[in-house]
Amino acid sequence: MKRWIAAIALCLHLTSTVATPAGPGKRPNNFFDQTQRQMVAPIPGANVGTLPVRTFDTSSLGIDPKVKQFSGYIDDKGNNKHYFYWFFESRRNPATDPVVLWLNGGPGCSGLMGVFMQGPSNIKNGKLLHNPNSLTNEANVIFLDQPVNTGFSHSPNRVQSTEQSAKDGYTFLKLWFEKFPQYADHDFHIAGESYAGQFVPAFAREIVADRQRKIKLKSILVGSGLTDAKTYYPYYYKLSCGKANAAQAFVDANTCRAMEQALPQCVKLIETCYASKSNQACNAARNFCDPKIRSPFHRSGRSMYDYRKVCGTPGAICDLNALGYASYINQPNFLKTLGVQDTGRKYDYCNDDVVGEFRAGADGFRPHHLNIAEVLKANVPVFVYGGDADFICPVSGNQDTVENLQWSGKGQYNQAKFQPYMSKKSGQKVGETKSSKGLKFTRIHDAGHEVGWYQMDTLAQMYSEWFADVKSGKA
């Protein structure tokens, strides 16, 4: 599998070259075996102060050392699932600031990516750098490795769908708040990017469906998110052929004609998948749409993160290795401090076997975007945002998706007008935004997939404003 495809929060299920899932009775090579599972045994001396068992103080790593922080495992013993997370208290007021669960995508891309991209520290040239725009500036943040067998989370069992991931995620949250009750009365938000556009609304729906829930879910945030295949595939054609945001075509005229001719059948197959939700129908949509509509752009040599960039040129992100922090995490002392013993299990950004499991069920072609409407119906505010130059999860597709949602606020939201979105740092316009009835949508200019990669100060500003609006009831 090409590493540039297996990218941070990348909508990997859509690609045509992915790892093949293991057959019945077989375990993928990089899943935990019985010996590897010993790596999560408590490490003598790693538990510090009042931290519970299987919780590890990480302040000695030099990442915001003055902020209370810990990593560890939440064990769903009944299902033999063990979830790895890394938690940082807020830099501002941890006693009153909200708790945020941060999810990366993939599916199968580690939440630890968030620690070094949207979180308290970046790693450049093998050195830690303080991130002044961290999401932890105003929130206590849990960075979670999920589904199981992503990052350092592990289980002999497999997860193959967003629905199962959401059930597991809710189990994790209930157990986490039981283990750390001091945070249980805080306002709670779920945020994530890319394939987490599936996970975040599904997690939230699990919470709002529980009438006896104790978690104080206040909002969800979906950035550069995979939400709705039916709206994306027309934009894959438009972006590839210079008919949308892009000012130029990235494929030749004959290919564009073929894509245009195939598009109606692609959309029809996706609609059939949505209606039946069967593996057969959804795989038929994937097998037709991927090679005919999405793959031509892959051959253009352009970055899927930012279609303005040519792979191999300065500033182009096309390969996960460009992130440069897997080797930093895999230092033995680093792993030990995290609570991960060095027994052969190494950190990798994404697990291709998890990708294969989800791809086998065509999970990304299912109508998970309908969960956004269910969350809105439960009076939980929703914030959707993205960058203009994103090919992976086109922001215009997200705009179409939220405008098509069926809920009581649909009419008023669709009638709301876009307003300029201004950077407080520069005083310049950086995008457009609109909101009504608890739904907000923002598109950011000069940004690709993962807005924070391009404008971390803008991302931090958006989150700060959103948390304040939710708290005040303005959202």
How does residue 27 score in pLDDT terms, banded at 50, 70 and 90?
A: very low
Structure-token pair, residue 199: 């996970």
pLDDT reading at 45 higher than 60: no
Q: What is the mean pLDDT of residues 290-299?
A: 94
Q: Degrees (nearest 5) of the Cα angle 463, 207, 223?
A: 30
Give yes or no for a contact between 195 and 393, defined as CB atoms under 8 angstroms apart. no
Rounded Cα distance, 360 and 284, in Å: 11
Please give the pLDDT value at position 341: 61
One fold for 12-17+29-227+324-356+363-472 and 230-308: no
How does residue 52 score in pLDDT terms, banded at 50, 70 and 90?
A: confident
Q: What percent of the chain has pLDDT over 90?
A: 78
Q: pLDDT tens digit string along 145-163?
A: 999 999 999 999 999 999 9
Q: What is the mean pLDDT of residues 102-129?
A: 92
Please give the pLDDT value at position 146: 96
Provide the CATH topology of domain 12-17+29-227+324-356+363-472.
Rossmann fold (3.40.50)
Catalytic residue among 90, 194, 224, 300: 194
How does residue 392 score in pLDDT terms, banded at 50, 70 and 90?
A: very high
**Cα separations in angstroms, 182 against 46, 85, 97:** 22, 17, 12
pTM: 0.90
Please give the pLDDT value at position 371: 97
Give yes or no for a contact between 69 and 58, defined as CB atoms under 8 angstroms apart. yes
pLDDT reading at 394 higher than 60: yes
Per 3-state DSSP, the chain is made up of helix, strand and coil in percentages (nearest 5) of 40, 15, 45
Q: Which of 2, 17, 7, 111 is nearest to 393 (CA)?
A: 7
Rounded Cα distance, 76 and 153, in Å: 11
Catalytic residue among 168, 390, 396, 435: 390
Q: pLDDT tens digit string along 406-435?
A: 999 999 999 999 999 999 999 999 999 999
pLDDT reading at 39 higher than 50: no
pLDDT reading at 41 higher than 50: no
Judging by DSSP bridges, how do beta strands 439-444 and 99-103 pair with one another?
unpaired
In this predicted structure, which of 46-50, 75-79, 160-164, 328-332 has the lowest mean pLDDT? 46-50
Q: Which of 104, 75, 6, 65 is nearest to 356 (CA)?
A: 6
Average model confidence (pLDDT) for the chain? Answer: 88
Q: Which residues contact 236 (CB under 8 A, 6 or more apart)?
A: 293, 294, 297, 391, 394
Q: What letter represents residue 229's amino acid?
A: A
Residue range 230-308, CATH number: 1.10.287.410
Q: What is the mean pLDDT of residues 297-326?
A: 87
Is residue 194 part of the annotated active site? The answer reads yes
Please give the pLDDT value at position 314: 86
Please give the pLDDT value at position 277: 86
Spell out a b/e string for 328-355, using b for 16 or more CB atoms within 10 Å of the CB, else e.
bbeeeebbebbbbbeeebebbbbbbbbb
Please give the pLDDT value at position 22: 34
pLDDT reading at 385 higher than 90: yes
pLDDT reading at 344 higher than 90: no
3-class SS at 69? strand
pLDDT reading at 19 higher than 70: no
Is residue 390 part of the annotated active site? The answer reads yes
Please give the pLDDT value at position 5: 36
> Before 21, cis peptide (omega within 30)?
no
Where do the domains of the chain lie?
Answer: 12-17+29-227+324-356+363-472, 230-308
Q: pLDDT tens digit string along 198-254?
A: 999 999 999 999 999 999 999 999 999 999 999 999 999 999 999 987 678 999 999
pLDDT reading at 68 higher than 90: yes
Is residue 64 part of the annotated active site? The answer reads no
Q: Which residue has the higher pLDDT, 3 or 352?
A: 352
Q: Which residue has the higher pLDDT, 453 or 408?
A: 408
**Cα separations in angstroms, 245 against 122, 235, 236, 238, 443:** 30, 9, 11, 8, 12
Q: What is the mean pLDDT of residues 33-45?
A: 34
How does residue 48 score in pLDDT terms, banded at 50, 70 and 90?
A: very low
Paired strand residues for 302: 310
Rounded Cα distance, 68 and 180, in Å: 13
- Pinpoint the alpha helices (H) of 184-292: 196-208, 229-240, 253-276, 279-289
Rounded Cα distance, 438 and 413, in Å: 9
Rounded Cα distance, 140 and 365, in Å: 33
Give yes or no for a contact between 85 and 144, defined as CB atoms under 8 angstroms apart. yes
How does residue 318 score in pLDDT terms, banded at 50, 70 and 90?
A: confident
Which of 79-88, 308-317, 325-334 reaches the highest mean pLDDT?
79-88
Q: pLDDT tens digit string along 118-140?
A: 999 998 888 899 999 999 999 99
DSSP symbols for 157-212: S---SHHHHHHHHHHHHHHHHHH-GGGTTS-EEEEEETTHHHHHHHHHHHHHT-TT
Beta strands per DSSP E along 68-148: 69-76, 81-88, 99-103, 121-124, 127-130, 140-144
In this predicted structure, which of 10-24, 205-219, 258-272 has the lowest mean pLDDT? 10-24
How does residue 60 score in pLDDT terms, banded at 50, 70 and 90?
A: very high
- Residue 55's H or E segment, with its range, is strand 55-57
> Before 147, cis peptide (omega within 30)?
yes
In this predicted structure, which of 4-8, 93-97, 402-406, 469-473 has the lowest mean pLDDT? 4-8
Q: What is the mean pLDDT of residues 6-16?
A: 41
Structure-token pair, residue 320: 């996960």
